[in-house]
Protein backbone atom coordinates (compact mmCIF):
# COMPACT_ATOMS: atom_id res chain seq x y z
CA UNK A 1 0.00 0.00 0.00
CA UNK A 2 1.31 3.44 -0.93
CA UNK A 3 2.25 5.46 2.15
CA UNK A 4 0.16 8.60 2.61
CA UNK A 5 2.13 11.79 3.33
CA UNK A 6 -0.22 13.78 5.57
CA UNK A 7 2.24 16.66 6.00
CA UNK A 8 2.59 17.21 2.26
CA UNK A 9 -1.17 17.00 1.76
CA UNK A 10 -2.07 19.51 4.47
CA UNK A 11 -2.66 22.38 2.01
CA UNK A 12 -5.20 20.67 -0.28
CA UNK A 13 -6.82 19.01 2.74
CA UNK A 14 -7.16 22.43 4.38
CA UNK A 15 -9.15 23.62 1.38
CA UNK A 16 -11.29 20.49 1.65
CA UNK A 17 -11.92 21.35 5.30
CA UNK A 18 -12.97 24.86 4.25
CA UNK A 19 -15.39 23.23 1.84
CA UNK A 20 -16.98 21.35 4.76
CA UNK A 21 -17.02 24.46 6.93
CA UNK A 22 -18.81 26.47 4.25
CA UNK A 23 -21.39 23.71 3.92
CA UNK A 24 -22.01 23.78 7.68
CA UNK A 25 -22.16 27.58 7.58
CA UNK A 26 -24.79 27.40 4.85
CA UNK A 27 -26.93 25.11 7.02
CA UNK A 28 -26.69 27.58 9.91
CA UNK A 29 -27.68 30.51 7.69
CA UNK A 30 -30.58 28.58 6.13
CA UNK A 31 -31.93 27.66 9.57
CA UNK A 32 -31.94 31.39 10.39
CA UNK A 33 -33.76 32.29 7.13
CA UNK A 34 -30.64 34.03 5.79
CA UNK A 35 -31.05 32.45 2.36
CA UNK A 36 -28.71 34.73 0.42
CA UNK A 37 -25.89 34.06 2.87
CA UNK A 38 -26.68 30.34 2.77
CA UNK A 39 -26.31 30.45 -1.01
CA UNK A 40 -23.05 32.41 -0.77
CA UNK A 41 -21.65 29.75 1.56
CA UNK A 42 -22.46 26.97 -0.93
CA UNK A 43 -20.85 28.99 -3.74
CA UNK A 44 -17.76 29.40 -1.53
CA UNK A 45 -17.75 25.65 -0.83
CA UNK A 46 -17.74 25.01 -4.58
CA UNK A 47 -14.72 27.29 -4.96
CA UNK A 48 -12.77 25.44 -2.27
CA UNK A 49 -13.87 22.10 -3.75
CA UNK A 50 -12.39 23.07 -7.11
CA UNK A 51 -9.20 24.50 -5.64
CA UNK A 52 -8.34 21.52 -3.41
CA UNK A 53 -8.23 19.16 -6.38
CA UNK A 54 -6.10 21.54 -8.43
CA UNK A 55 -3.60 22.00 -5.59
CA UNK A 56 -3.47 18.26 -4.87
CA UNK A 57 -2.51 17.55 -8.49
CA UNK A 58 0.04 20.39 -8.57
CA UNK A 59 1.89 19.19 -5.46
CA UNK A 60 1.44 15.52 -6.34
CA UNK A 61 -0.65 14.53 -3.32
CA UNK A 62 -3.69 13.03 -5.03
CA UNK A 63 -4.58 10.01 -2.92
CA UNK A 64 -7.40 7.73 -1.88
CA UNK A 65 -7.46 9.58 1.46
CA UNK A 66 -8.05 12.85 -0.38
CA UNK A 67 -10.80 11.32 -2.50
CA UNK A 68 -12.64 10.00 0.55
CA UNK A 69 -12.22 13.25 2.50
CA UNK A 70 -13.43 15.25 -0.49
CA UNK A 71 -16.51 13.04 -0.83
CA UNK A 72 -17.39 13.45 2.84
CA UNK A 73 -17.10 17.21 2.46
CA UNK A 74 -19.25 17.13 -0.66
CA UNK A 75 -22.00 15.26 1.18
CA UNK A 76 -22.15 18.15 3.65
CA UNK A 77 -21.75 21.10 1.27
CA UNK A 78 -23.56 19.82 -1.83
CA UNK A 79 -25.92 17.27 -0.29
CA UNK A 80 -27.09 18.38 3.15
CA UNK A 81 -26.67 22.14 2.67
CA UNK A 82 -28.80 22.60 -0.50
CA UNK A 83 -31.36 20.07 0.78
CA UNK A 84 -31.83 22.04 3.98
CA UNK A 85 -31.77 25.34 2.08
CA UNK A 86 -34.73 24.32 -0.09
CA UNK A 87 -36.44 22.72 2.91
CA UNK A 88 -36.36 25.83 5.09
CA UNK A 89 -37.32 28.10 2.19
CA UNK A 90 -40.07 26.03 0.55
CA UNK A 91 -40.66 22.42 1.58
CA UNK A 92 -41.19 22.97 5.32
CA UNK A 93 -44.84 23.76 4.59
CA UNK A 94 -45.48 20.25 3.22
CA UNK A 95 -44.87 18.13 6.32
CA UNK A 96 -43.31 14.69 5.81
CA UNK A 97 -43.66 14.93 2.03
CA UNK A 98 -41.60 18.11 2.12
CA UNK A 99 -38.96 16.42 4.27
CA UNK A 100 -38.75 13.53 1.82
CA UNK A 101 -38.59 15.70 -1.31
CA UNK A 102 -35.98 18.05 0.12
CA UNK A 103 -33.82 15.07 1.15
CA UNK A 104 -33.56 13.73 -2.42
CA UNK A 105 -30.51 15.86 -3.29
CA UNK A 106 -28.74 14.54 -0.19
CA UNK A 107 -29.74 10.89 -0.70
CA UNK A 108 -29.07 10.63 -4.43
CA UNK A 109 -25.94 12.75 -4.11
CA UNK A 110 -24.60 10.28 -1.54
CA UNK A 111 -25.29 7.38 -3.91
CA UNK A 112 -23.58 9.33 -6.70
CA UNK A 113 -20.43 9.88 -4.65
CA UNK A 114 -20.31 6.26 -3.45
CA UNK A 115 -20.60 4.98 -7.01
CA UNK A 116 -17.88 7.36 -8.18
CA UNK A 117 -15.50 6.26 -5.43
CA UNK A 118 -15.87 2.52 -5.99
CA UNK A 119 -15.39 2.93 -9.75
CA UNK A 120 -12.36 5.23 -9.42
CA UNK A 121 -9.20 3.28 -10.24
CA UNK A 122 -6.50 5.67 -11.46
CA UNK A 123 -6.40 8.98 -9.54
CA UNK A 124 -4.32 10.61 -12.28
CA UNK A 125 -6.91 10.08 -15.03
CA UNK A 126 -9.69 12.67 -15.35
CA UNK A 127 -12.35 11.00 -17.48
CA UNK A 128 -15.85 12.22 -18.22
CA UNK A 129 -18.43 11.93 -15.47
CA UNK A 130 -21.18 9.34 -15.64
CA UNK A 131 -24.10 11.07 -14.01
CA UNK A 132 -24.45 14.70 -12.99
CA UNK A 133 -21.70 15.65 -10.50
CA UNK A 134 -23.14 16.55 -7.10
CA UNK A 135 -21.54 20.04 -7.06
CA UNK A 136 -23.31 20.91 -10.34
CA UNK A 137 -26.63 19.64 -8.99
CA UNK A 138 -26.17 21.64 -5.79
CA UNK A 139 -25.11 24.80 -7.60
CA UNK A 140 -28.05 24.55 -10.00
CA UNK A 141 -30.54 24.35 -7.14
CA UNK A 142 -28.73 26.96 -5.06
CA UNK A 143 -28.49 29.45 -7.92
CA UNK A 144 -32.22 28.91 -8.58
CA UNK A 145 -33.00 29.83 -4.97
CA UNK A 146 -30.60 32.76 -5.02
CA UNK A 147 -32.00 34.17 -8.26
CA UNK A 148 -35.72 33.81 -7.65
CA UNK A 149 -36.53 33.82 -3.94
CA UNK A 150 -38.12 36.95 -2.52
CA UNK A 151 -37.66 37.33 1.19
CA UNK A 152 -38.70 34.06 2.82
CA UNK A 153 -40.67 32.68 -0.13
CA UNK A 154 -40.39 31.51 -3.71
CA UNK A 155 -43.12 33.42 -5.57
CA UNK A 156 -45.12 32.11 -8.49
CA UNK A 157 -44.38 31.01 -11.16
CA UNK A 158 -40.93 29.98 -9.84
CA UNK A 159 -42.39 27.85 -7.06
CA UNK A 160 -43.96 25.57 -9.69
CA UNK A 161 -40.49 24.51 -10.83
CA UNK A 162 -39.07 23.48 -7.45
CA UNK A 163 -40.32 19.88 -7.32
CA UNK A 164 -39.55 19.05 -10.99
CA UNK A 165 -36.09 20.60 -10.61
CA UNK A 166 -35.27 18.63 -7.45
CA UNK A 167 -36.47 15.35 -8.98
CA UNK A 168 -34.59 15.97 -12.25
CA UNK A 169 -31.30 16.83 -10.54
CA UNK A 170 -31.60 13.87 -8.17
CA UNK A 171 -32.25 11.42 -10.99
CA UNK A 172 -29.44 12.75 -13.17
CA UNK A 173 -26.91 12.25 -10.39
CA UNK A 174 -27.47 8.48 -10.38
CA UNK A 175 -28.00 8.20 -14.13
CA UNK A 176 -25.33 7.37 -16.70
CA UNK A 177 -25.77 10.61 -18.62
CA UNK A 178 -22.33 11.87 -19.64
CA UNK A 179 -21.02 15.18 -18.31
CA UNK A 180 -17.65 16.75 -19.02
CA UNK A 181 -15.01 17.39 -16.40
CA UNK A 182 -13.64 20.86 -15.77
CA UNK A 183 -11.01 21.87 -18.34
CA UNK A 184 -7.46 21.14 -17.18
CA UNK A 185 -5.87 24.46 -18.00
CA UNK A 186 -2.30 23.27 -17.39
CA UNK A 187 -2.76 20.74 -20.23
CA UNK A 188 -4.39 23.15 -22.68
CA UNK A 189 -2.80 24.85 -25.66
CA UNK A 190 -2.63 28.64 -25.75
CA UNK A 191 -5.67 28.78 -28.04
CA UNK A 192 -7.67 26.52 -25.72
CA UNK A 193 -6.71 28.65 -22.72
CA UNK A 194 -7.89 31.80 -24.49
CA UNK A 195 -11.22 30.15 -25.33
CA UNK A 196 -11.61 28.97 -21.72
CA UNK A 197 -10.84 32.48 -20.46
CA UNK A 198 -13.38 34.01 -22.85
CA UNK A 199 -16.07 31.59 -21.68
CA UNK A 200 -15.26 32.42 -18.06
CA UNK A 201 -15.33 36.18 -18.65
CA UNK A 202 -18.57 35.92 -20.62
CA UNK A 203 -20.14 33.90 -17.80
CA UNK A 204 -19.09 36.48 -15.22
CA UNK A 205 -20.56 39.28 -17.33
CA UNK A 206 -23.86 37.42 -17.70
CA UNK A 207 -24.05 36.88 -13.93
CA UNK A 208 -23.26 40.56 -13.28
CA UNK A 209 -25.69 41.95 -15.86
CA UNK A 210 -28.55 39.71 -14.68
CA UNK A 211 -27.89 40.42 -10.99
CA UNK A 212 -27.13 36.76 -10.28
CA UNK A 213 -30.00 35.18 -12.21
CA UNK A 214 -27.64 34.33 -15.07
CA UNK A 215 -25.82 31.91 -12.78
CA UNK A 216 -28.86 29.64 -12.74
CA UNK A 217 -29.20 29.82 -16.51
CA UNK A 218 -25.55 28.83 -16.91
CA UNK A 219 -25.89 25.77 -14.66
CA UNK A 220 -29.25 24.65 -16.02
CA UNK A 221 -27.73 24.92 -19.52
CA UNK A 222 -24.98 22.50 -18.44
CA UNK A 223 -27.60 20.13 -17.04
CA UNK A 224 -29.78 20.25 -20.16
CA UNK A 225 -26.81 19.94 -22.52
CA UNK A 226 -25.99 16.55 -21.00
CA UNK A 227 -29.57 15.40 -21.56
CA UNK A 228 -29.60 16.71 -25.14
CA UNK A 229 -26.31 14.98 -25.93
CA UNK A 230 -27.68 11.74 -24.48
CA UNK A 231 -30.80 11.95 -26.67
CA UNK A 232 -28.78 12.70 -29.81
CA UNK A 233 -26.38 9.84 -29.04
CA UNK A 234 -29.25 7.43 -28.41
CA UNK A 235 -30.95 8.09 -31.73
CA UNK A 236 -27.67 8.31 -33.66
CA UNK A 237 -25.95 5.16 -32.37
CA UNK A 238 -28.46 3.39 -30.16
CA UNK A 239 -27.65 2.40 -26.57
CA UNK A 240 -26.21 -1.09 -27.16
CA UNK A 241 -22.56 -0.11 -26.69
CA UNK A 242 -23.33 1.97 -23.64
CA UNK A 243 -25.24 -0.86 -22.00
CA UNK A 244 -22.18 -3.08 -22.46
CA UNK A 245 -19.91 -0.44 -20.89
CA UNK A 246 -22.28 0.03 -17.96
CA UNK A 247 -22.41 -3.71 -17.30
CA UNK A 248 -18.62 -3.88 -17.41
CA UNK A 249 -18.37 -1.02 -14.90
CA UNK A 250 -20.85 -2.67 -12.54
CA UNK A 251 -19.13 -6.06 -12.78
Which pLDDT score, from 0 to 100, does residue 17 have? 92
pLDDT at 107 over 70: yes
Tens digits of residue pLDDT in 137-188: 999 999 999 999 998 889 889 999 999 999 999 999 999 999 887 655 556 5
Which pLDDT score, from 0 to 100, does residue 222 have? 92
What's the whole-model pTM score? 0.85
Q: What is the mean pLDDT of residues 233-244?
A: 62
pLDDT range class, residue 235, cuts 50, 70, 90: confident
pLDDT at 12 over 90: no
Tens digits of residue pLDDT in 34-75: 999 999 999 999 999 988 877 777 776 667 777 888 899 999
Q: What is the mean pLDDT of residues 199-221?
A: 83
Which pLDDT score, from 0 to 100, does residue 122 have? 53
The CATH-assigned architecture of domain 10-181 is Up-down Bundle (1.20)
Extents of the domains making up the chain: 10-181
Long-range contacts of residues 168-171, Cβ cutoff 8 Å, at least 24 apart: 168/223, 169/105, 169/132, 169/137, 169/140, 169/141, 169/223, 170/104, 170/105, 170/107, 170/108, 170/109, 170/137, 171/108
Asked which of 47-51, 101-105, 127-131, 225-229 is least confident by mean pLDDT, the reply is 127-131
Amino acid sequence: MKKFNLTKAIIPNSFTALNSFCGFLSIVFASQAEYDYAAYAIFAAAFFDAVDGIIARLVGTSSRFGVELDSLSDVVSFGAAPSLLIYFLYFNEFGWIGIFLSSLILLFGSFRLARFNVQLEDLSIKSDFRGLPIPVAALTLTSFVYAFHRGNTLPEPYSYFVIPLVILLSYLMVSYVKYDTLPQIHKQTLKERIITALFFITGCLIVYITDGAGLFYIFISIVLFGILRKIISYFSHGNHDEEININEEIN
